[in-house]
Amino acid sequence: MKHLENLLKDRPEFLFRKIIGSSFDGVTITNAKGQTIWYNQSFLQMSGLLPSQLDNYTAEELIKNGWMEDSASIEAISKGVTITKSVKYSTGVEALISATPILDNNGSLMYTFQNIRDITELNKLKHQLDETYALSESYRQTLQEVQQTSGNQIIYQSTLMENIIILAQKFSKVNTPILILGESGSGKDVLANYIHNIDTRANSGPFVKINCGAIPEQLLESELFGYEAGAFSGANRNGKAGLFEVANSGTIFLDEIGEMPLSLQVKLLGVLQDMKIQRIGGTKEIPIDVRVIAATNADLEKMIREKKFRQDLYFRLNVLSITIPPLRERPDDIIVLIEHFLKMFNEKHQFNKSFSPSSIKFFLSYDWPGNIRELKNLVERLMIVSDGNVVNETFIPANIRNKINHTDDNLLEDSIVENPDVHLKSLMDDYEKKVLSHYLAKYRPMRRCADVLGIDLTTLARKKKRYGL
């Protein structure tokens, strides 16, 4: 500390020029007339102004000559207070400028000190996030309804999911069985819960879920339909109500219905037709009032051909069906889901973390074979293993990086044609067409696609037209 005090005393100008001059932010000092008397290299790079312009013209003259859009120092000089404003320079850099007046002991203005910070990338990210969070009014209303009824949320922004929600709302008004199809991890159970919660049944009965593939065949029947006292060895002496009885006046969700044994499929078909169940070992039919929602990631039509699923049960379940598209087909939902999981795990683990723009770009480029479940698990993992409050791309697992890179490699390999008559320009055009076709199909709307590709929307539209995409 003593050394620094001596340096400040003996060589103040040297210290000023070295420290302020090497600042990443732009720095300028103007006198009381608005003449720039000092500036660093960062300011020259941001503004595109030349030393000859700064040395010979006041801030007002720089603006008058069209070399600069605006200056905070002019207002700071006239008002005698710190002024902060944003300015866009001819270089395309958007900057946040704070001009602070420096007064002498008599309160007279001596200089203004300006700090200029490049906020171009920050504004670009803000614009992207503004678009992402510009949720439709119908989404806000739907989300509010879900939060009010159960605390469960369906997080989405894409038109695909908006159509799914509209369909689910229509289906919730009738008691016909519903079949939800979709890949593993796509949110079938969340949608089933949502349908229950927007139905009047949410006030009269519970939502009961059972995974048909997680319970051994010999136990699944008793779990679904219950049993009477003494029905089998080891049974409860008072008998037991099955889940269909527990769900009476509510909803039963049969997850992984494709895993249900054929012997139970026959019994389930009878329940759907008559709305009555019979406990194991019992002789009495018990009437029930239950909404049945089934879900699977299996190809039931293929299973029917292979004699693994009953066709008549399929027809009974498939009257009202909803297919949830995989996450790779609705990239618009990725950002809002990330934000949702960030908030969830920040609260759970007492963190205050966020993702860098570069890491979000990886998220948007990945195909998510595990869908929302994989996204959720990865967000939590990255938040736990990362250092600091900003999770950057260095923490993205290698398997995700490799899959993203392989996609681009395959596009390139497909564009290479072993033909001596094909010129480099033709190869490059063919590759560009394949890349654009791939990204246009993956990222919508076009503005998001342009952002991911790092080009402006006008350029993307022109190339799209050129290649007839």
| Whether residues 307 and 367 fall in one domain | no
The answer as to whether 125 is a domain residue is no
**CA 399 to CA 416: how far, in whole Å?**
26
The answer as to whether 402 is a domain residue is yes
In which region does residue 281 sit, left (phi positive, over 0), alpha (psi from -120 to 50) or beta (all else)?
left
| Whether residues 188 and 307 fall in one domain | yes
Which band of pLDDT confidence, cut at 50, 70 and 90, is reported for residue 22?
Answer: low
Task: Take residue 249 and report the two structure tokens written for it.
Answer: 């006046």
| Whether residues 264 and 170 fall in one domain | yes
Domain ranges, residue 206: 137-325
Task: Check residue 129 and give its pLDDT.
Answer: 52
Residue among 186, 135, 467, 117 nearest 324 (CA): 186
Over residues 178-190, mean pLDDT = 94
Task: Check residue 131 and give its pLDDT.
Answer: 45
State the CB neighbour count (10 A cutoff) for residue 218: 9
CATH code, domain with 34: 3.30.450.20
| Whether residues 204 and 149 fall in one domain | yes
The pLDDT of residue 120 is above 70: yes
State the CB neighbour count (10 A cutoff) for residue 25: 17
The pLDDT of residue 139 is above 50: no
| Whether residues 317 and 376 fall in one domain | no
Which band of pLDDT confidence, cut at 50, 70 and 90, is reported for residue 86?
Answer: confident
Task: Check residue 194 and give its pLDDT.
Answer: 93
The answer as to whether 15 is a domain residue is yes
Local structure of residue 204 (DSSP, 8 states): T
| pTM to 2 decimal places | 0.57
The pLDDT of residue 202 is above 60: yes
Task: Check residue 144 and give its pLDDT.
Answer: 40
Domain count, the chain: 3
Longest CA pairwise span in the chain (Å):
103
Over residues 210-219, mean pLDDT = 86
| Whether residues 215 and 291 fall in one domain | yes
The pLDDT of residue 6 is above 50: yes
CATH code, domain with 277: 3.40.50.300
Please say whether the dihedral angle defined by the alpha carbons of residues 187, 188, 191 and 192, taken in this order, is positive or negative: negative
Residues facing residue 113 across a β-bridge: 29, 100
The pLDDT of residue 415 is above 70: no
Over residues 431-456, mean pLDDT = 77
More confident residue, 18 or 317: 317
The answer as to whether 177 is a domain residue is yes
The pLDDT of residue 137 is above 70: no
The answer as to whether 54 is a domain residue is yes
The answer as to whether 189 is a domain residue is yes
More confident residue, 257 or 465: 257
Task: Check residue 424 and give its pLDDT.
Answer: 53
Let me know: does 89 contact 69? Beta carbons within 8 Å: yes
| Whether residues 146 and 254 fall in one domain | yes
Task: Check residue 53 and give its pLDDT.
Answer: 87
Domain boundary among 118, 151, 166: 118
Tell me the one-letter amino acid at 174.
V
| Whether residues 183 and 281 fall in one domain | yes
- Predicted confidence (pLDDT) per residue in 361-414, tens digit: 788 888 899 999 999 999 999 999 998 888 888 888 887 777 765 555 555 555
Over residues 257-277, mean pLDDT = 93
Domain boundary among 305, 325, 345: 325
The answer as to whether 126 is a domain residue is no
**CA 10 to CA 338: how far, in whole Å?**
54
| Whether residues 169 and 286 fall in one domain | yes
| Whether residues 304 and 391 fall in one domain | no
CATH code, domain with 402: 1.10.8.60
| Whether residues 291 and 157 fall in one domain | yes
| Whether residues 154 and 301 fall in one domain | yes
- Predicted confidence (pLDDT) per residue in 321-344, tens digit: 999 999 988 887 888 898 889 999
- Cα–Cα separations (whole angstroms), residue 244 to 3, 13, 250, 254, 409: 81, 84, 9, 10, 52
The answer as to whether 130 is a domain residue is no
Q: Above pLDDT 90, what percent of the chain?
A: 31
Q: Above pLDDT 70, what percent of the chain?
A: 81
Residue-averaged pLDDT of the chain: 81
- Predicted confidence (pLDDT) per residue in 349-359, tens digit: 999 998 887 78
